[in-house]
Amino acid sequence: MGKLEHPHPAGLLQNPAYSHVVVASGARTIYTAGQVAIDEHGALVGDGDLAAQTTQVMHNVGRALAAAGASFNDVVKITTYVVNYQPEHRMIVGKARAPFFANMTPPASTLVGVAALAMPGWLVEIEAIAVTG
């Protein structure tokens, strides 16, 4: 695991769901591709259910990280893309994502509303950047 620092910028609201800044020191940087709510056979998980899809996406992110010898503890930045984003989606995504960052300072995070993803039925896509020792 690399060394992660989470400075608290003066003048910015401290939100427990994400960090404004993460300073990472380590030997390896890992970038995951955007992960979507499909299983290992390519079947959609959670059709029409943003919470279920977010949970599946986070499991897939975890699998991608593990393949590179990393975990959610090493994540410094995530970007989340939500189809037809509405403000109420933030709570749904946040609640589904929270268990994966439990008992740790969360990474820097960006949420982007998009018109569509690569395939119909996909509601959310998440990519991560991690740093390990």
Return the half-sphere exposure (C-beta side, CA atoms, 13 A cut-off) of residue 25. Answer: 3
d(CA 64, CA 71): 9
Structure token pair of residue 70: 């990393």
Strand order in the sheet with 124-132: 28-31, 124-132, 75-83, 108-114
Residue 94 has pLDDT above 90, yes or no: yes
Question: Which CATH architecture fits 3-132?
Answer: 2-Layer Sandwich (3.30)
Give residue 76's pLDDT band: very low, low, confident or very high (50, 70, 90).
very high
Domain spans, the chain: 3-132
Q: Residue 89: name the closest of 31, 37, 49, 118 by CA.
A: 49
The predicted model scores a pTM of: 0.89
pLDDT for the residue 4: 84
> pLDDT for 14-34, tens place per residue?
888 888 888 888 789 999 999
